[in-house]
Amino acid sequence: MFRSDPRGLAQTVGGRIEILLDEPLGTISPNIYGHFSENLSGVIYDGIWVGENSKVPNVAGIRKELVDEMRKISPPIVRFPGGCFADSYDWRDGIGPVDKRPRRTNFWNGGEKAGAPDAHRYDPNRFGTNEFVQFCRLIGAQPYLAANLRSLPAQEFNRWIEYCNSPAGSTTLADQRAAAGFRDSYNVQYWGVGNESWGCGGNFTPQEYAVEYRRFTAWAPSYRAGDLSFVASGPSDDGWNWTRGFLEEIVRKGKEQVRGIYGLALHYYAWNLSRGKTNDWEKGKGDAVNFDVVDWYELLRQGDVMESLIKGHWLVMGEFDPEHHIKLVVDEWGPWYKPGSELTPGDQIEQLPTLRDAVFSGLTLDTFNRHPDKVGIGCCAQLINCLNSLYLAHEDRFCVTPVGHVFQMYAAHQGGTSLRTKFSVPSIHYDRDGQTASFWGLQGSASLHEKQLVLTAVNPDVKNPVEAQIVIRGAKVKSGSASMMTSSDIHARNTFDQRTAISPSTAPLEIKEDAPVFRFPAASVAKLTMTLA
Ligand code: AHR
């Protein structure tokens, strides 16, 4: 196995970080620290929902250990039920008496392997809107529901809103909600209007989708001003044509039409580790746990593309919405590897996150922090047992992945004022199939919360630590502390048998002549918390 810091080979790199207190970039919306839980394989059934009669400790059927862990990361928002699943889902199937709920063929049925539980193929609808909202309440998050635009009429979208939001006793649907034990309105603010409507969500052109979007949102039941925020299905990766085509059609009815859109969804998965050899979705993917140093850097390079996607789509959006009323909602992001690393055999698109994914996740969250004016919501894909999971679970077994630990470290940024921060650290060079490739040496973000300054950064260098002086323009540091996550093995990961193989550790923060100095270990994610004088 590759060791990231072979004794005697590492050289400490010098660097400087300058935090500009007088250059605020905006407030970091807590919602960019959001999550995504789709009814896909082991995410809901086994991951979140174990059932009230399970021997797995649970709160009203919801896995207790998950609830306890999530409370530590201050989850602001969770998206449900998809993903592609959303556009085949009838919300009515998941409400009402449990024994009367129908079983339906899950959108992901075709990908399930022999031996997978029936619930992954045939949705028992045991976990529906009420259970999801209850889960959100337990963890202190707000629900973000994705509506079915491909296979249900707009009327059903309206009725789902009515079921969730109409005041107690006001409508037949509010009475049905009360009959299930939920008298008060759920007040669901965020609603996705379809998902990936260019593909599984209807195979629309951007213009066709824009027409559908207008129809779906021309009226919706509202119970107080500003109680609904709609998220339009947006591009994947650099699909500029989708962003442009959609908005062009939206404003054909008038410039003010942009006011009916809270956000435009952007989905971005880092999947192509072929080093430029192919764009084939199957052949281009890499392995989650068996990778070399070049694969490590290639994945991080792919993660770094997020910044150009945010800036690029923002520019296109500005052509039609110069005041930038519409935000970017990055409601699916993360690495996507080929199958084979799943802890629960048969769990579709489950993968085993390593330190590499922790660094990737820190890098992505730092990117969001640097664009607080543009990114309104971010949802990591996905919460549990799927892709960039924060948690893995099967029956009574559970572990927090390195990605989950990063979310706990970065939660401190939520609601802070993002500050422009300059990182001056030499670039890394590595051999990419006979050619020299480069990547930045250290990158991160900073936020201010009254007198408390939070700096997070990732050091992508697999070998060398970076010792950086941290200069805070406009203030002195009184005291500080650090936490960091790293390992001598870049493949480090947690499993059901080794639940704490990798987790953050704390360190004192040295302050030399009013300026903190910190040694960012090789292959690490770090957080510094500083109290200003
Ligand atoms: O996250 C898995 C899938 O990836 C989602 O269902 C879909 O929206 C995306 O293509």
> pLDDT digit string (tens) for 251-301?
999 999 999 999 999 999 999 999 999 999 999 999 999 999 999 999 999
pLDDT tier, 171 (very low <50, low <70, confident <90, very high otherwise):
very high
From the list 205, 219, 110, the residue with the least C-alpha distance to 162 is: 219
Q: Is the pLDDT of residue 6 over 90?
A: no
Query: Is residue 348 within 8 Å of residue 108, measured between CB atoms?
Result: yes
Per-residue pLDDT at 264 = 98
* Nearest alpha-carbon partner for 532 in 483, 475, 473: 475
pTM of this prediction?
A: 0.97
Residues with CB under 6 A from ligand 1: 38, 82-84, 195-196, 332, 381-382, 387
Name the residue at shortest CA distance from atom 5 of ligand 1: 83
For residue 402, the CA-to-ligand 1 centroid distance in Å is 22
pLDDT at 520 over 80: yes
Reported as a single tens digit per residue, the pLDDT across 489-503 is 999 999 999 999 999
CA distances from 225 to 61, 193, 221 (A): 35, 19, 11
Least confident stretch, 64-68, 113-117, 201-205, 223-227: 113-117
Confidence category of residue 523, pLDDT binned at 50, 70, 90: very high
Residue nearest to atom 6 of ligand 1 (CA): 83
Instruction: State the pLDDT at residue 513.
Output: 79
Beta bridge partners of 231: 192, 263
For residue 127, the tally of other CB atoms under 10 A from its CB is: 25
Which atom, in ligand 1's list, is nearest to the CA of 382? 1
3-state secondary structure of 236: strand
**Mean pLDDT in residue range 383-407:** 98
Measure the CA angle with vertex 114, ends 110 and 120; round to 5°.
Answer: 55
Instruction: Yes or no: say if 17 and 361 are a contact pair by the CB < 8 Å rule.
Output: no
Range with lowest mean pLDDT among 8-12, 379-383, 500-504: 8-12
Which of 38, 107, 237, 384 for a ligand 1 pocket mutation test, highest count of atoms within 8 Å of Cβ?
A: 38
Would you say residue 3 has pLDDT above 50?
A: no
Find the 165 Cα to ligand 1 centroid distance in Å.
Answer: 27
Mean pLDDT to the nearest integer, 143-152: 98
pLDDT of residue 1: 45
> Ligand 1, from 37, 84, 109: best to mutate by most atoms within 8 Å of Cβ?
84
* Closest atom of ligand 1 to CA, residue 269: 4
pLDDT class for 7, splitting at 50, 70, 90? very low
pLDDT tens digits along 38-56: 999 999 999 999 999 999 9
